[in-house]
A and B are shown apart, each in its own frame.
Chain A
Amino acid sequence: MNHSHRLTIAAVAMAAVAWAPGAAMAAKNCETLVLGSAISLTGKYSTNGEHAKNGYEFAIKKINEAGGVKVGNKCYFLKVKYYDDESTPARGAQLAERLINQDKVQFMLGPYSSGLTKAIAPVTEKYRVPMVEAEGASRSLFNKGYRYLFAVLSTSEQYLASAITLAADVAKKNGKKPSDVRIAIAVENDPFSLDIRAGVLEDAAKYGMKVVVDDKLPRDLSDMTATLTKVKALKPDVLIVSGHSKGAATVTRQVGELKINVPMIAITHCEAADITGKFGKTAEGFLCSTQWAETLSYKDPLFGSASNYEKEFKAAFPQYKNKTVPYQTAQASAAVYVFKDAFERAGSFDREKVRDALAATDLMTFYGRIKFSKAGNNIAKPMVLRQVQNGKYVVVAPPEYASHKLVWPRKAM
């Protein structure tokens, strides 16, 4: 109850803020450009769908406040038409058709999750509608030759590969060979987590590291004791785990329960599972991969620095006041910003021209640099590793953007 009440207040506040400059701009006759998005507002992705939607809305508010998108001599306010895809791919594809055919939407923002993006991309491709997406990281999206799909985030095989590089660095520093490093991998058996595994295996092979445990956890499994008992017996140097929020929560709890003593543990979805809040000390020393962190030193003219983005976003959406702003939100905002940049460079709303402008994007943003490969994925932004130190997430890799030093080895609590 309380939650929805706060939401209403936020909505009213936002409307008020958006109204004031809007009224001033109306004199300048800004027209409205409608983008379309099918996004998960109900169903299993609803939490993250909401995060993404708020990211879109915040970027639109910032762009409209700054005078909208300028194309030719005219200015345009952005607006998004949303449909709820109920977290089901089939529904997402249907809604994309509806947005394009009935609502005559010319440009699309992506849905939440790789699965939904995979379902919608063929539709936007068929109608030649450019789509900038921020929440689909699976690398299978970028080997289909799509021309109209652009993604601002790093692809999934990069998620934990940086942990392998870090482990190699640590080994060198301690006078050991990187090839002495032994790795245990446990990932969920779904396309996204398997991509992460593939990236880790690739980098491990590069260094000649040995993989001693390589478990794929079935989707229905909420228990990792068998795998972790094996880890306990084999004593690897690195433990890599990825299995969405469930995997993060399960591994953190059971590492504590079984007192697993691995010097480096790298996982995904720490924030989504809130491992620091739920398990406190056990989470200490865990490495968490993230697309973005508010302490990074990126900035741009619209949002300012990453930390400024966080501050202003929290002011606009008070329901995030006591949380870290999720990267899902930041990358959604970045996607809208990429569209604005492309519209202005194209100087037109012709879909082909906008597509070519998108393909030529080379933009520094608060979220990191954005430059698309031929396949449409962002190749300019590295994945970030944060470590839990004293209950807080601090950036430890890549070293050039890091604010803190890696604590190694991790001590079992």
Chain B
Amino acid sequence: MSQIIGNINILIEAPVFNLSLLLDGLMIGAVFALSAYGLALVWGVMNVKNLAQGDFVIMGGYTAWVLAQNGIHPLFGVPVAFVLLWGIGWVIYVTVIRRVIDQDLFTSLLATFGLAIMFQQILNLFFGSDTQTADAGFPSIFLFDGQVSVPQVKLIAFVLAALLATAVILFMKRSRMGQAIRATAQDPRAARVLGINTDKVYAFTFSLNAAICGAAGALVAMIWVIQPFYGITYSIRAFVVVTAAGFGNLPGVIAAGLGMGVIEQFGGFILGATFQQALVVGLLLLVLIIRQIQQARVRQVVQ
């Protein structure tokens, strides 16, 4: 308890650390937001809860790592992973996901859970179980006499994440395919009646999701570490973010991702790292309870 009070005192006496935590939180949150964004798409459009989300991220990470091993700068891993994971996503859609879309909730959960296990073991076979990291070799930018440090690689990740998110949002709003995706999400039967090839829309959505995750993964490999079995972390965070924001609300997902990053940083600082994630999950619970109460009220009105 005295440590917690001491930590709060640090933040009051040296406000510069608030800035440091805020920046870190935003930069970290941007990466979470990306994988959550893909999940929101797949969940919203196809009603598939993809448990292999994090494993797509890790595959993207290994793409950047392999490039770095071969002397290519891991930043190129972002576009390469995007393209590669697009292909993998498409194959997975055609072979597995297409068959479970119309099934109930548990079939898609089980199928994607199985996929997650398979991906982990395949990565383990190919790359071994060592933790790996792709070093971009960028120094940090130091502000306020070195008290606030902004690692350039995180900054780049933040910018890339923002660009990617903007591109996807614009694509959904403006392009023909984006409109088709939104139409399918609203009512697949009506979309089919109006001549939209929903199978194609689903394939596109799932591939896009895998590709976004892949790009996020390449960033993860440069910022943190990857290992074949670390995917679950990103799956869980994606679920937390999407559940909190609601999947119909793409800008909301991004805001929730950023917010989660910031809360994690402040929580970790004040309460200790032990509660860094507990705090996030606790907040999710709170959001769900509030939602439940609101919905109950709506239902009463309808009755």
Contacts and interface: CB of A to CB of B under 8 A. Distances in A.
A258 interface: yes
B276 A226 contact: yes
Interface in A29-73: 42-47
A229 B149 CA distance: 10
Contacts of A256: 140
A172 B222 CA distance: 41
B27 to A, nearest CB: 9
Interface of B is mostly: helix
Contacts of B63: none
Q: Identify the interface centre among B3, B129, B146: most chain A CB within 10 Å of its CB.
A: B129
Contacts of B151: 257-258
A250 B261 CA distance: 17
A229 B14 CA distance: 12
Interface stretch (B72-80, B99-107, B242-250, B262-270): B262-270
Contacts of B233: 220-222
A257 B229 CA distance: 25
Interface stretch (B130-138, B158-166, B198-206): B130-138
Contacts of B224: 222-223, 250, 253
A221 B225 contact: no
B54 to A, nearest CB: 10
B17 interface: yes
Contacts of A44: 124, 129, 227-229
A220 B129 contact: no
Interface in B258-303: 264-269, 272-274, 276-278
Interface residues of B, number: 46
Interface string A210-250: 00111111101111111101101110000000001110011
Contact of B149 (A47, A186, A212, A258): A258
Contacts of A47: 128-130
A171 interface: no
B21 A214 contact: no
Given A258-B140, A259-B142, A221 B229 contact: no
A329 to B, nearest CB: 15
A149 to B, nearest CB: 26
B273 A218 contact: yes
B149 A217 contact: no
B273 A216 contact: yes
B146 A259 contact: yes
Interface string B219-231: 0000011011110
Contacts of A226: 21, 24, 264-269, 273, 276
A249 B226 CA distance: 10
Nearest to A48: B129
Contacts of B21: 225-226, 229
Given A214-B3, A220-B233, A246 B276 contact: no
Given A42-B124, A221-B277, A222-B233, A229 B269 contact: yes
A14 interface: no
A53 B272 CA distance: 39
A246 B131 contact: yes
A72 B10 CA distance: 71
Given A214-B3, A230-B10, A246 B269 contact: no
Given A42-B124, A250-B224, A233 B10 contact: yes
A225 B265 contact: yes
Nearest to A46: B129
A261 B125 CA distance: 39
Contacts of B47: none
Interface string B1-29: 00100010010001001001100100010
A222 B54 CA distance: 13
Interface stretch (A154-162, A272-280, A378-386): A272-280
Contacts of A227: 268-269, 272-273
Contact of A245 (B20, B131, B142, B269): B131
B147 interface: yes
Interface string A260-299: 0000000000001110001100000000000000000000
A230 B121 CA distance: 37
Contacts of A165: none
A42 B233 CA distance: 21
A229 B24 contact: yes
Contacts of A225: 21, 24, 28, 265, 268
A234 B10 CA distance: 8
A246 B225 contact: yes
Contact of B124 (A43, A224, A279): A43
A222 B147 CA distance: 22
A1 to B, nearest CB: 10
A129 B268 CA distance: 46
A290 B198 CA distance: 58
A189 interface: yes
Contacts of A274: 130
Nearest to B147: A232
Nearest to A187: B273
Contacts of B7: 230
A249 B278 CA distance: 23
B232 interface: yes
A220 B277 contact: yes
16 contacts: A46-B129, A215-B272, A217-B273, A217-B276, A218-B273, A221-B276, A222-B225, A222-B230, A223-B224, A225-B265, A230-B10, A233-B14, A245-B225, A246-B230, A250-B225, A253-B224
Given A225-B28, A227-B269, 7 more contacts: A189-B274, A216-B274, A226-B267, A226-B273, A233-B10, A234-B10, A279-B135
